[in-house]
């Protein structure tokens, strides 16, 4: 019986010829990422001193301050200060701040390497799977163990296969694929499993678009989301001077826990209704719902193609007077490109407020907090109660195009009418 790509990546990390789902292994970590919110300040700084005060390999540790940056109050400023100083004290040269959400920075800085094992103190570390990198979120205590040993104790997960055939219609995007997939299995449907995505529809997506899908694998409970690295991935890595790594691919006779097939030809824009990510319906079922805020950003859908799609709809049009449209490019380099290519001007002319590249509004930490009774449509990945502000605010999750269309009309709108 063959192995899945997840099993092969773990076998390599465990220096074993093969592994089987259910087996426990000690796996060598290739990249350990900490963000500011669950990084050194939580557990690690205090206890690493008691564990020899040594990091196993400083070159494999990345610290990215993104949730609190730029600081919105003194507490956040002190967390950033602590994280910055800790990185300096422990000689972590790969420290980034103010460049945007960690998962976009990891990709742009070349840490998402095919065939490698990445752990991060953020649940959306699964994003790296778009590069064929096994990325998974871990807690600060587990991270402490990784920092001193370079290893993590892993139970080899089973893999679920999601094959997307066909071609996305105009106005339908990668975000609609992952929302539809999560609708199929529910928010716990992939708990402790790997979601492997394949099929011509996935292969036709750009790497940027694929990242929106693997980013949200954790919203179905998945350990990680994975896609076979192909020439698009290798071209991306080459363009940033990153190594090709050790690309792994599932064997034709690999064993999957479950297999699902979908046809993208018939997929229509999807939307997740408050307050659960798996409460997904066709957008036509939610049309007309009033919204007060539209948010375009985050490690899910704040990338350059996302801004371009929104700009296509907003060009020459105005945001509804009762709506605030907030735009936060997912990284500084995306922001710079969007400025150079006139995208920011189009969005701003339409009435958008352009925010810093940051986690910020995505989880209600700063900028764009919702008041009681307000409703937002957002290109992000979570819509739990209180996620973006008041616990009596509501959040709809959708594609950047759906966010733009709703911003114009002041209500949930099928974006296809504008395309
Ligand atoms: C703050 C962090 C722990 C959390 C995560 O792990 O996903 C955050 O990034 C989120 O999106 O909810
Ligand atoms: S989901 Fe939101 S808060 Fe979490 S890492 Fe991504 S941008 Fe930041």
pLDDT in tens, 367-386: 899 999 999 999 999 999 99
Same domain, 47 and 181: yes
Computed over every residue of the chain, the mean pLDDT equals 98
How many domains is the chain partitioned into structurally? 2
Same domain, 161 and 297: no
Nearest ligand 1 atom to the CA of 218 is 7
- CB within 6 Å of ligand 2 — which residues? 66-67, 101-103, 122, 124, 298-299, 359, 362-363, 380-381
CB 181 within 8 A of CB 270: no
Same domain, 157 and 210: yes
Same domain, 65 and 168: yes
pLDDT in tens, 18-32: 999 999 999 999 999
Distance of CA 255 from the midpoint of ligand 2 (Å): 32
Same domain, 234 and 376: no
Provide the residue range defining the domain that includes 405: 270-417
Residue 79, sorted as left (phi over 0), alpha (psi -120 to 50) or beta, turns out to be: alpha
| DSSP line for 98-128 | SS--HHHHHHHTT---TT-EEEESSGGGGGG
3-state secondary structure of 270: strand
Nearest CA to ligand 1 atom 2: 122
pLDDT in tens, 202-239: 999 999 999 999 999 999 999 999 999 999 999 999 99
Same domain, 112 and 44: yes
* Portion of the chain with pLDDT greater than 70, in percent: 100
Ligand number nearest to the C-alpha of 67: 2
Same domain, 228 and 133: yes
Q: Tell me how long the chain is.
A: 419
Domain boundary among 232, 262, 292: 262
Same domain, 71 and 193: yes
pLDDT in tens, 141-188: 999 999 999 999 999 999 999 999 999 999 999 999 999 999 999 999
Same domain, 52 and 104: yes
Q: Taking the model in full, what pTM does it have?
A: 0.98
Query: Is there a binding annotation on residue 299?
Result: yes
216: which 2 tokens? Answer: 């949200």
Domain boundary among 262, 288, 319: 262
335: which 2 tokens? Answer: 């922001």
Alpha-carbon radius of gyration of the chain: 20
Same domain, 87 and 146: yes
193: which 2 tokens? Answer: 């499993």
pLDDT band at 88 (very low <50, low <70, confident <90, very high): very high
Domain boundary among 212, 243, 262: 262
Same domain, 294 and 253: no
Nearest ligand 2 atom to the CA of 297 is 7
ipTM of the complex: 0.99
Q: Specify the pLDDT at position 366.
A: 84
CB 65 within 8 A of CB 76: no
Q: Specify the pLDDT at position 396.
A: 98
- 64 pLDDT more than 90: yes
CA distances from 3 to 131, 191, 256, 290 (A): 18, 20, 9, 48
Query: Is any atom of ligand 1 closer than 6 Å to the C-beta of 124?
Result: yes
Distance of CA 299 from the midpoint of ligand 2 (Å): 6
Q: What CATH number is attached to the domain comprising 374?
A: 3.30.499.10
Query: Is any atom of ligand 1 closer than 6 Å to the C-beta of 363?
Result: yes
Distance of CA 362 from the midpoint of ligand 2 (Å): 6
Straight-line distance from the first to the last Cα atom of the chain, in angstroms, rounded to the nearest whole number? 47
Nearest CA to ligand 1 atom 4: 122
Mean pLDDT of 316-320: 98
Distance of CA 37 from the midpoint of ligand 1 (Å): 8
Nearest CA to ligand 1 atom 7: 123
Same domain, 174 and 245: yes
- 263 pLDDT more than 90: yes
């Amino acid at each position: 019986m063959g192995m899945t790509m997840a099993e092969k990546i773990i076998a390599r990390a465990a220096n074993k010829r093969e592994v089987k789902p259910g087996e426990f292994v000690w796996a060598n970590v290739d990249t350990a990422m900490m963000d500011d919110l669950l990084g050194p300040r939580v557990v690690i700084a205090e206890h690493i001193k008691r564990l020899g005060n040594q990091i196993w390999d400083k070159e494999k540790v990345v610290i990215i301050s993104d949730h609190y940056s730029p600081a919105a109050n003194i507490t956040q400023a002190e967390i950033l200060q602590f994280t910055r100083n800790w990185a300096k004290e422990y000689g972590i040269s790969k420290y980034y701040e103010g460049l945007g959400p960690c998962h976009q920075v990891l990709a742009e800085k070349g840490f998402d390497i095919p065939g490698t094992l990445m752990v991060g103190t953020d649940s959306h570390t699964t994003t790296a799977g778009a590069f064929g990198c096994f990325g998974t979120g871990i807690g600060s205590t587990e991270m402490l163990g990784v920092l001193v040993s370079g290893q993590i104790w892993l139970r080899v997960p089973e893999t679920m296969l999601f094959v997307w055939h066909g071609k996305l219609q105009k106005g339908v995007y990668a975000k609609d694929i992952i929302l539809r997939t999560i609708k199929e299995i529910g928010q716990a449907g992939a708990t402790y499993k790997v979601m492997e995505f394949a099929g011509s529809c996935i292969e036709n997506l750009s790497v940027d678009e694929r990242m929106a899908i693997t980013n949200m694998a954790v919203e179905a409970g998945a350990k990680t989301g994975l896609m076979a690295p192909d020439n698009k991935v290798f071209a991306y890595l080459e363009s940033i001077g990153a190594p090709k790594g050790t690309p792994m691919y599932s064997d034709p006779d690999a064993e999957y826990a479950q297999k699902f097939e979908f046809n993208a030809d018939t997929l229509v824009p999807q939307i997740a209704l408050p307050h659960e990510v798996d409460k997904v319906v066709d957008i036509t079922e939610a049309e007309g719902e009033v919204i007060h805020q539209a948010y375009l950003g985050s490690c899910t859908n704040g990338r350059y193609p996302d801004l371009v799609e929104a700009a296509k709809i907003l060009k020459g049009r105005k945001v509804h007077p009762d709506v605030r449209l907030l735009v936060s490019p997912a990284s500084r380099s995306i922001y710079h490109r969007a400025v150079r290519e006139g995208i920011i001007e189009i969005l701003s002319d339409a009435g958008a407020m352009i925010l810093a590249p940051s986690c910020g509004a995505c989880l209600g930490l700063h900028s764009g907090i919702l008041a009681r009774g307000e409703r937002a449509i957002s290109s992000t990945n979570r819509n739990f109660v209180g996620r973006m502000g008041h616990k009596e605010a509501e959040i709809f999750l959708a594609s950047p195009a759906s966010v733009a269309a709703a911003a114009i009309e002041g209500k949930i709108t099928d974006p296809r009418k504008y395309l």
